[in-house]
Amino acid sequence: MLDWNPALYRRYEDERTRPARDLLARVPLAEAALVVDLGCGPGNSTELLVERFPGAQVTGTDNSEAMLASARERLPQARFELGDIAAWAPRDAPTLIFANASLQWVPDHETLIPRLFDALAPGGVLAVQMPDNRQEPTHRLMRAVAAQAPWAAPIGDAERLRTPLLGLGRYYDLLAPEAADVDIWHTIYQHRMADAAAIVEWVRGTGLKPFVDRLPADLKASYLDEYQRRVDAAYPAHADGRRLLAFPRMFIVAQKKA
C-alpha cells in the first residue's frame, strides 16, 4: 500500500481515540516500566499511555514514516521506531503491549497473539482493540463495488485485502491457559456523521485505503463516486439529518502470571 495519511486519519481523531481510552481504562496496572504502543499511528494512543504511566519508557512503533513523523511532532518526549508488527520483537520485556486498531492489518493471529503475550514481562499486560466491521455496510459495499468492472481487475481479490479475525472465544482460548486473567468484550459504537461523504472520508483513512491505493486516478474517482452513492442509501439520515455509523470493535486485555 501507499503510505498512510496522518491528516486524513486525524480528522476523526476523537472518535478513533475513544476505543483506545476504553481499552486503557481496563488495563489492570498501577504503574509500568516499559510500555510499547504497537501500530501507534500519529501518536493519539501513545499520548494516552504517556499520561497514564508518566514514569514509564514509552515506545511507539509503526510501519508508516508519515505517521511516525506526526507522532514525533506531537510527543517529542516519547520514542518512536519504524517497524513491522509481524516481525516485531522487544529488546526488553514490556510491562504493557498496547495495540489499538493495528493488529487487524497483521496476518496469522493464531501465532501472533501468543507471541506477543509471551514477550511480556511477568505480570505484564497485552491490551488489544480491533475493528470488527467486515460485515458492516461500509465494508460489504467496499467489496461489492470492487468486484465489479472496471474496478475488479486492478483491485483483485477484495476478500484478501483484510486479515480475517478470529472469534472472541478463539482469542480467549489462545490466552487463557497461560494468563492470570483474560478480559474480553465487544462494543458497537454509534458515530454521528454529517452525511454519506463524511462516512466515506472516515473509511478512506483506514479500511478503504487498500482498495483505492490499487486504482489509477480515473478509476479511483469513479470507484469512490459509486461507493458513496451506495453508502448514502445504506445509511439513511435521521431526525437531525445526521447518519449513524455503527462501528463494532473487539477488545482483549490479558495479564501474564507474575
**Domains of the chain in sequence order:** 6-256 (3.40.50.150)
Alpha carbon distance 205, 41 (integer Å): 11
pLDDT in the model for residue 158: 84
Rounded to an integer, the average pLDDT of 37-58 is: 95
Q: What is the pLDDT of residue 1?
A: 45
Q: CA geometry: angle at 127 spanning 121 and 131, to 5°?
A: 150
Ranges 6-15, 36-45, 201-210: which has the least confidence: 6-15
pLDDT of 207:
87
Each residue of 157-172: pLDDT tens digit? 888 877 889 999 999 9
Whole-number average pLDDT of the chain? 93
Choose among 65, 47, 29, 14: nearest CA to 189. 14
Q: Give the Cα separation of 65 and 81 in Å (integer).
A: 9
What would the DSSP string read from start to end of 191-221? EEESSHHHHHHHHHTTTTHHHHTTS-HHHHH
Model confidence at 15: pLDDT above 90: no
- List the grid coordinates of 168: 472472541
Determine the pLDDT at residue 248: 97
Distance CA 129, CA 154 (A): 31
Position 6 scores a pLDDT of: 60
Q: Which residue has the cell 466515506?
A: 200
Q: Tens of pLDDT along 66-123?
A: 989 999 999 998 999 999 999 999 999 999 999 999 999 999 999 999 999 999 999 9
Provide the 10 A C-beta neighbour count for residue 104: 23
